[in-house]
Amino acid sequence: MISPTQVKEMIQGALPDAQVQVNDLTGGGDHYEVIVVSREFAGKGLVQQHQLVYAALQQAMATEAIHALSLKTLTP
């Protein structure tokens, strides 16, 4: 389990310019929908964009603190 604020901070730690919207889908703190807007995504394919976000959340994903994550990445 992890709080939406923690998810946001982890992503912004890796992508300082990112605007991050975090929705807890079930209220249980482990099924999240996250929308990330960052200049870092420019020129990158979808997989690479998502990998940047996954890298920021590596710890939470590995321990299944985040069990399910729906991800949308956008450039500004």
Binding footprint of other proteins on the chain (CB under 8 A) = 46-47, 50-51, 54, 58, 61-62, 68-72
Cβ closest to other proteins, residue 8 vs residue 31:
31
CA distance 35 to 52: 13
- With respect to other proteins, which residue has the nearer C-beta, 39 or 72? 72
Q: Which of 56, 64, 7 is nearest to 33 (CA)?
A: 7
Q: How far apart are CA 56 and CA 10, in angstroms?
A: 6
Q: How far is the CB of 42 from other proteins (least distance, A)?
A: 16
C-beta of 3: minimal distance to other proteins in Å?
20
